[in-house]
Amino acid sequence: MSTYDDLMAFQRDTSALAQVAGRLGWDQETMMPRGAADQRSDEMAAMEKVLHARRTDPKLAEWLAAIDDTALDPVGQAQMRHIRKSYDRAMKVPADLAVEIAKVTSKAQGQWAQARADEDVAAFLPVLETVVGLKRREGEALADGGDVYDAMIDDYEPEMTAVELATMFDAMRPRLVALREAVLAAEPPQAVTGHFPADKQMALAAKLATTFGYDLTHGRIDKAVHPFSSGSGHDVRITTRTSELDPFNCFYSTIHEVGHACYEQNIDDAYLLTPLGGGVSMGVHESQSRIYENQLGRSRAFTGWLYGQMTAAFGDFGINSAEDFYRTVNRVHDGYIRTEADEVQYNLHVMLRFDLERALMQGDLAVFDLEAAWNDRFAADFGYAVDKPSNGCLQDVHWSVGLFGYFPTYSLGNVYAGCLYQALQGAVPGLDEQLTAGDLSAATEWLKDNLQIHGGLFEPAEVVQRASGIVLSPEPLLTYLEGKFGAIYQL
């Protein structure tokens, strides 16, 4: 075998072990008995110790030094780009720190869930302070004298910086706020009312998942406190949640996670268990979940089909026509929860988190001041007060598991989705007619062939630009939002 072949064989084993560690995380949020939390944290720490040792193995340095990247084809060069970056990152983070982060965040996740259920911020803040301290140490090691928060963003969105994101968000915020104010001053659509049994929601959620292309022979749907997608290749799992008074929570959480899952399922099998075998960034990942959920799933055409499906499943639920249902699905309303926010206000929720976690990582905000800072910012941005911690700083799982730098990729994903949707509309003739019939195949095949299949082959902005023909810009997203909601609310 060549040196490159030796390296790739080693890398595949490392990737396989990382998938096993990911399955432990999936189990922790879905099936694990609550009393197993301490043992699971030890198991996660043990897996991280093994993975860190492999990612810093001296053999990697020998292989990387021996391989001439220019002698490889474009796929090989892309593999080497990812492997070199992963090796450089792993070498900067001490093994004991990596293991400690894995152990503490595993426990912190359970403590967050309990504190959220108890509406008890004080019970969570001590462990969050520990997580923040550990992640700041990690960020300092990775930054190597540079910006700590930029180093964290790079884990989720390579080549992106906080300054670039802040500049983009500052440009978006005035138009989003103006649209929000105009919409909320108009006559709102009716809200959905009634009782929607959880078992019927899950049955329809499974139908929605397969309608959007999710392959259940290589996946499954379970429930979790915070919906997520897990895995890659031939084992990609999603979760959702149900509220018997709000079926949209279940249905659109499912479609959202299916967008993530289909990205992973549709990557070229030749890249399985290699650095190219996963989504290239969380921003690109989020572009898939958001375009599935919003531009396709909340479109007038598709909601017409969904209205028929809901009527068949639940009978009369108080909405009298497909057009009224479309307006209800896209109803802009006051609310606290990011994952339940309408398209107009969603990015404002993300921008709040971006600014707070950036301040935490830069040492400008103390953990024990987080709740007050969150509540003050929320009141300023949305015009009303947070009523309880589970609707405020305890609502998201991300900080408990150390995902600092992740939140801004949600809005970046919306920007990417805006570019992709503009291209999709021109590339798929008769798109609305297909969506009206509940046929997503042409739309999802276009996304597969133009973006998803490539996995990590290209850099994030490059793969979106190749698919859409548009240089990264928030303009397509803002134009889409202003047009859609201007029409719904007759602005």
Backbone angles phi, psi at 428, to 5 degrees: -115, 95
Q: Which two tokens stand for residue 306?
A: 């969904």
DSSP state of 236: E
Among the residues of 186-321, which ranges form H helices? 198-211, 247-265, 282-290, 300-314
Give me the active site residues, please. 257
Q: Which two tokens stand for residue 40?
A: 């699971």
Tell me whether residue 292 is exposed, middle or buried, using C-beta atoms within 10 angstroms of its C-beta: 0 to 12, 13 to 18, 19 or more.
buried
Tell me whether residue 295 is exposed, middle or buried, using C-beta atoms within 10 angstroms of its C-beta: 0 to 12, 13 to 18, 19 or more.
buried
Q: Which two tokens stand for residue 35?
A: 């009393």
C-alpha dist (Å) from residue 488 to 90, 184, 425, 430, 484: 50, 12, 20, 22, 6
Nearest to 267 by CA among 23, 78, 69: 78
Q: How far apart are CA 89 and CA 86, in angstroms?
A: 5
Q: How far apart are CA 269 and CA 452, in angstroms?
A: 12
286 is in an annotated binding site: yes
For 265, other C-beta atoms within 10 Å of its C-beta total 21
Q: How far apart are CA 286 and CA 470, in angstroms?
A: 18
Q: Return the residue matching tokens 């999603």.
A: 238
Q: How far apart are CA 112 and CA 109, in angstroms?
A: 5
Q: Which two tokens stand for residue 123?
A: 């019970």
Within its chain, how far is the Cα of 439 from the centroid? 25
75 with 457: CB under 8 angstroms?
Answer: yes
Q: How far apart are CA 440 and CA 210, in angstroms?
A: 10
Q: Return the residue matching tokens 């540079």.
A: 146
256 is in an annotated binding site: yes
Q: How far apart are CA 272 and CA 334, in angstroms?
A: 43
User: Which residues does the annotation place in the binding site?
Assistant: 256, 260, 286
User: Which residues does the annotation place in the binding site for Zn(2+)?
Assistant: 256, 260, 286
